[in-house]
């Protein structure tokens, strides 16, 4: 999932420098190998949601009451951050953000490709128009912040489940998780802000 998000971020970042390059990258996302990955990633995402819900239910039972705290994916001693204590809430907010993203982009592009409909001929124009709405851009920025919080914990937690949870690797993975999450979410936020400013005439439009 993190690798797919990285690919998605790199492709979106091209829109900062070249609209033709971004449109070409979007065509790449429609190639058979990427289309083959989508249902696999969707299945993994569903399993991730179910697993998180099961963990939270088990935690509720053990605590004897309703609480959205302490889904941590590791020991209580390591679940000391706000993100670690609120992963289920962050996950729900990410799902809501995905709904917005699907409506704004996926419905006009990948969905049309899968169903044999008319694919958006100008992905960059769609991106520019969407982020050009200041309120929609603001919602995406909030979503990227939520995604950052989720990733900062989820990255090292994934490796913790694989057994890399000793004191030495725990500290290193937490640093790496902050770097990875900041690069990905920072780049996505920059894409949204840059195209919002361009659409509203504050930054010059791209010519190619």
Helix (H, G, I), strand (E, B) or coil at 192: helix
With 0-12 / 13-18 / 19 or more C-beta atoms within 10 angstroms meaning exposed / middle / buried, residue 54 is: exposed
State the chain's maximal CA–CA distance in angstroms: 61
Give the whole-number percent of the chain exceeding pLDDT 90.
38
pLDDT band at 81 (very low <50, low <70, confident <90, very high): low
Considering 16-30, 37-51, 156-170, 183-197, the range whose residues carry the highest mean pLDDT is 183-197
Confidence of residue 63 (pLDDT cuts 50, 70, 90): low
pLDDT on residue 154: 74
Residues contacting residue 185 through CB under 8 Å, at least 6 positions apart: 144, 145, 147, 148, 151
Q: Where are the domains of the chain?
A: 2-199
Q: Residue 51: which H helix or E strand, with range?
A: helix 32-63
Tell me the per-residue pLDDT of 159-203, one tens digit each, with 9 for 90 and over.
666 665 666 666 777 888 889 999 999 999 999 999 999 999 999
Measure CA 200 to chain center.
Answer: 25
Query: Which residue is associated with the tokens 């049309």?
Result: 112
How many angstroms separate the CA atoms of 150 and 79, rounded?
Answer: 13
Q: CA-to-CA distance for 114 and 97, rounded, in angstroms?
A: 22
pTM for the predicted model, two decimal places: 0.82
| pLDDT tens digits for range 106-162 | 888 877 877 878 888 899 999 999 999 999 999 999 999 999 998 887 776 666 666
pLDDT reported for residue 22: 94
Distance in angstroms between the alpha carbons of the first and the last residue of the chain: 31
The neighbour count for residue 74, using CB atoms within 10 Å, is 16
Long-range contacts of 164-173 (CB under 8 A, 24+ apart): 165/74, 165/75, 165/78, 170/78
């Amino acid at each position: 999932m993190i690798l797919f998000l990285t690919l998605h971020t790199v492709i979106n970042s091209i829109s900062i420098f070249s609209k033709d390059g971004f449109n070409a990258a979007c065509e790449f996302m429609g190639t058979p190998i990427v289309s083959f990955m989508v249902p696999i990633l969707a299945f993994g995402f569903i399993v991730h949601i179910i697993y998180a819900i099961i963990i939270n239910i088990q935690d509720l039972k053990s605590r004897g009451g309703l609480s959205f705290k302490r889904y941590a994916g590791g020991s209580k001693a390591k679940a000391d951050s706000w993100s670690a204590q609120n992963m289920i809430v962050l996950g729900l907010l990410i799902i809501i953000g995905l709904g917005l993203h699907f409506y704004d982009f996926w419905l006009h592009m990948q969905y049309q490709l899968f169903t044999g409909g008319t694919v958006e001929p100008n992905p960059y124009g769609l991106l520019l128009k969407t982020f050009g709405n200041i309120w929609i851009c603001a919602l995406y920025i909030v979503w990227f912040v939520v995604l950052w919080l989720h990733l900062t914990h989820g990255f090292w937690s994934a490796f913790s489940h694989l057994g890399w949870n000793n004191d030495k690797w725990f500290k290193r993975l937490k640093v790496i998780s902050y770097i990875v999450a900041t690069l990905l979410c920072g780049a996505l936020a920059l894409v949204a802000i840059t195209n919002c400013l361009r659409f509203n005439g504050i930054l010059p439009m791209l010519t190619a």
